Amino acid sequence: MGSLGDHAGAAGGGNARVIAGRYRLEAPLGRGGMGVVWRATDLLLGRRVAVKELARDETLSDAEAEQRRERTLREARAVAQLRHPHVIVVHDVVVQDEQPYIVMELIEGGSLAGRIARGGPLDAHAVARMGIDLLGALSTAHDAGILHRDLKPANVLLERGTDRVVLTDFGIAQLSGATTLTEVGSFVGSPEYTAPERMAGERTGPESDLWSLGALLVTALAGESPFRRDSIGGVLHAVVFDEIRPSAAVDPLLPVVLGLLDRDPDQRMGAAEAEGLLRVYVETGRMPAVVRERPGAGLPGHSGRSGLPGLHGLPGRSGRGAPTPAERE
Gap between the Cα atoms of 193 and 180, Å rounded: 19
How many other C-beta atoms are found inside a 10 Å radius of the C-beta of residue 294? Answer: 13
pLDDT at 66: 84
Query: Are 259 and 273 contacting, i.e. CB atoms less than 8 angstroms apart?
Result: yes
Query: What pLDDT shows up at residue 292?
Result: 61
The verdict on whether 150 is a catalytic residue reads: yes
Is the confidence at residue 182, as pLDDT, over 80? Answer: no
* Between 22 and 57, the higher pLDDT residue: 22
Q: Give residue 31's pLDDT.
A: 81
Given this model, what pLDDT does residue 188 score? 57
Query: Which has more pLDDT, 29 or 186?
Result: 29
Distance CA 265, CA 269 (A): 8
Q: How many residues does the chain have?
A: 329
Whether the CB-CB separation of 248 and 239 falls below 8 Å is answered with: no
- Give whichever of 71-75, 207-211, 296-300 has the largest mean pLDDT: 207-211
pLDDT at residue 60 tops 90:
no
- The burial of 301, by beta-carbon neighbours within 10 Å (0-12 exposed, 13-18 middle, 19 or more buried), is given as exposed
CA dihedral 256, 260, 265, 270 (to 10 degrees): 60
- According to the 3-state scheme, what is the secondary structure of 216-248? HHHHHHHCCCCCCCCCHHHHHHHHHCCCCCCCH
Q: Which residue segments constitute the domains of the chain, with CATH numbers given?
A: 17-105 (3.30.200.20), 110-328 (1.10.510.10)
For position 295, what pLDDT does the model report?
A: 43
Give the separation between CA 4 and CA 196, rounded to whole angstroms.
28
When pLDDT is cut at 50, 70 and 90, the band that residue 105 belongs to is very high
Catalytic option among 133, 150, 209, 262: 150
**Strand order across the 109-111 sheet:** 109-111, 156-159, 165-167
Better-predicted residue by pLDDT, 267 or 71: 267
pLDDT above 70 for 171:
no
Share of the chain above pLDDT 70, in %: 77
CA distance 3 to 12: 20
More confident residue, 23 or 73: 23
- Tell me the percentage of the chain whose pLDDT exceeds 90: 53
Segment 146-150 mean pLDDT: 88
pLDDT, mean of residues 107-136:
97
Pairing of strands 156-159, 99-105: unpaired
C-alpha distances out from residue 48 to 26, 103, 188, 235, Å: 10, 10, 31, 39
What pLDDT, on a 0 to 100 scale, did the predictor assign at position 104? 94
Output the average pLDDT for the chain. Answer: 81
pLDDT tens-digit readout, 243-289: 888 899 999 999 999 999 999 999 999 999 999 999 999 999 999 88
Task: Taking residues 196-209, report their average pLDDT.
Answer: 88
